Amino acid sequence: MTAHRFDPHRFDIVGFDLDGTLLDTLGDLAVALNHALGTIGREPVPQAEVKNLVGGGSGLMLRRALALTGGEEGLDFDALRQVLIAHYGDNIANHTALYPGAAEMLDDLAASGTRIAVVTNKPEPLAVKLFDALGLSPRFASVIGGGRYPLKPAPDALHAMVEQCGGGAAAFVGDTTFDTRAARAAGLPSVAVSFGFCDAAPEALEADAVIDHFDELIPALARL
């Protein structure tokens, strides 16, 4: 791995999306989603297809899955979403891990004095529980999840991220249009990761830079 510890960049704060950006959560999300579908007699969605359903929060993921498996007419959607969330919360880190190079990248950002934050549409208690389970919580100056502010692509949570981190120049890293649109609305430059749960081709996410591995993030930030 090429070391980028001392590459200069102008950002005091670098924020990250969670699912499909910092963490590959697909395995645990797929298990929880298919558990919920199974309680209403639906066929499971293959994990490779679940990847295309993620983004915009658990409710949107579930609605997309129901559309694939027979629709939601006559269902108590809110109750089913709670079944999904409860199962996910009880099995939150069985198959989840940082993407390759993420740990080293976070180390390098921290060594440069950059404040690191997370803004996710995942409900905040679940985001905190997941980071605690993986021993990652001490890395972050701020973790903002769904339930406190309007979900991305609204910019509110990104504005709060900057405020909670003490202000300064900030950039945001994500994998979907929810992330890049939120960054643009908040007036922040964005970096898209091509390896996540992209809801469009990486070059179509309209980020200021696209990276294929976290080895490339700090050099990309230095060019922005």
Residues tagged active-site: 17
| Residue recorded with tokens 């509110």 | 156
Query: 134-142 long-range contacts, Cβ below 8 Å, gap at least 24?
Result: 134/23, 134/93, 134/96, 134/97, 134/98, 136/98, 139/106, 139/110, 140/116, 141/13, 141/115, 141/116, 141/117, 141/165, 141/166, 142/115, 142/117, 142/118
Q: At a CB cut-off of 8 Å and minimum separation 6, what does 126 contact?
A: 85, 88, 89, 92, 145
Judged on CB neighbours under 10 Å (0-12, 13-18, 19+), 43 is: exposed
User: How far apart are alpha carbons 136 and 223 in whole angstroms?
Assistant: 28
Contact 131, 184 (CB under 8 A): no
CA distance 70 to 164: 43
Annotate 144-159 with b (16+ C-beta within 10 A) or e (fewer).
Answer: bbbeebebbbebbbbb
